[in-house]
Amino acid sequence: MKILVTGGAGFVGSHIVGAYVTAGHQVIVVDDLSTGKTENVHPQAQLVEMDVNDPRLLDLFVAEKPDLVNHHAANASVSLSVRQARFDATQNILGTLNVLEAARRAEVGKVIYISSGGAMYGAVAYLPMDEAHPANPVSPYALSKHTGERYVQLYGEVHGLQWTSLRYANVYGPRQDPHGEAGVVAIFCQNLLDGIVPEIHWDGEQTRDFVYVGDCARANLLALEGGNGQAYNVGTGVGTSINTLFHTLMDVAGQNLTPRRGPRRPGDARHSYLDCRKIERELDWQPEVTLHEGLERTWHHFAGLG
C-alpha cells in the first residue's frame, strides 16, 4: 500500500511512518519541518518538505496517487493556540480541509485523522471518557481538532471518503520534543539531564492517561484496514497521577529527588482518562507497553543509552 503521512517528521508521526515501512508499505512524508526533524524520518520513506496548506498539495496527491492518507500534521501547542488562534485554525482546520479536498480530488481510498481524546472532550462529564462523551473544547487547539474531525466525517457522508479518527490520550516516548509545548514526560527527562529538579504543579494527585507512542503506532496499523467511519480513543484507560509518574521515572533513571511544587495551572482538570474498550472490541487493540517499560525506553533515548 502507498501511504502518505502528513507530519511524518514529528514525534508521533515519525513512529507511525516507521511502523508502516516495517510492515512493508511505501511511505511518503509531507512535513514543513517547522517542528519535525529530518532525522526522525525513516530512511526508506520519501520526504517532501511542504506545508499542508500549500496549493501544490493537490498536485502531489495526483502525482503520487496514495491509497491512504494519515493526517498527523497540526499545531499541537495549546498555549500557542491561545496566543495565536488564527494560526491554530489555519493549520488545524484549513490544513485539514486542504488535505481532505486533495484526497477527494485525487480519489484517495481512506483518510486516518488524528484527533485528541482529553483536549477535545474538555470539561469532564464522567470517567472514563468514552467516544460518546460530550465534546466541550476549552482551547482553540481543542476546538480546531474537533472541527477537523467533523469535517472528516462530513467528507465521508457527502463525498464517500472512507475515514477513521484516532483520539489520542497523552502520548509519550522517544523523539518527543522537551521544549515548547511538550509532554510532561519529555520535560521531566530533559530536566534530569540538565540537572534541574522537575516541578510538579498542584499537589500532583491529578491524573492523566499516558499512552506509549509505540502503542499508538500499532493502532494506526490496525486502522489501515479496519474502523471505517468510526472514531476511537487510544489510551490506557488508566489515570496515572503525576506523582506516580515522577516516582516511576526516578526509579527508571536511578535518581532520588524530591520534586519542586508549583501552583495549579488555570484550567487543569483533576482527573482525565479515556475508555478504550471500543477500539479493543472492534480493532483488537489494547496497550501493550507498561508505564515502567515505556518510561525506561524514553529515558534511555533521552540519555543516549540506546
Domains of the chain with CATH codes: 2-170+210-234 (3.40.50.720), 173-209+238-302 (3.90.25.10)
- Does residue 128 have a cis bond before it (omega within 30 degrees)? yes
Mean pLDDT, range 176-186, rounded to an integer = 85
12 Cβ contact partners less than 8 Å away, ≥ 6 residues apart: 72, 114, 168, 171, 213, 216
Residue 52 and residue 6 in contact, taking contact as beta carbons nearer than 8 Å: yes
List, for residues 233-287, the tens digit of each pLDDT value. 999 999 999 999 999 999 999 999 999 999 998 878 899 999 999 999 999 999 9
Q: Is 151 annotated in the active site?
A: no
E strand map for the chain: 2-6, 26-31, 46-49, 68-71, 110-116, 162-168, 170-172, 199-201, 207-208, 210-212, 230-234, 240-241, 260-262
- Which residue among 20, 141, 172, 212 is the active-site one? 141
Q: pLDDT (tens digit, 9 = 90+) per residue, 25-75?
A: 999 999 999 999 999 999 999 999 999 999 999 999 999 999 999 999 999
pLDDT value, residue 210: 98
The CA distance from 251 to 128, in Å, is 28
* Tens of pLDDT, residues 112-167: 999 999 899 999 999 999 999 999 999 999 999 999 999 999 999 999 999 999 99
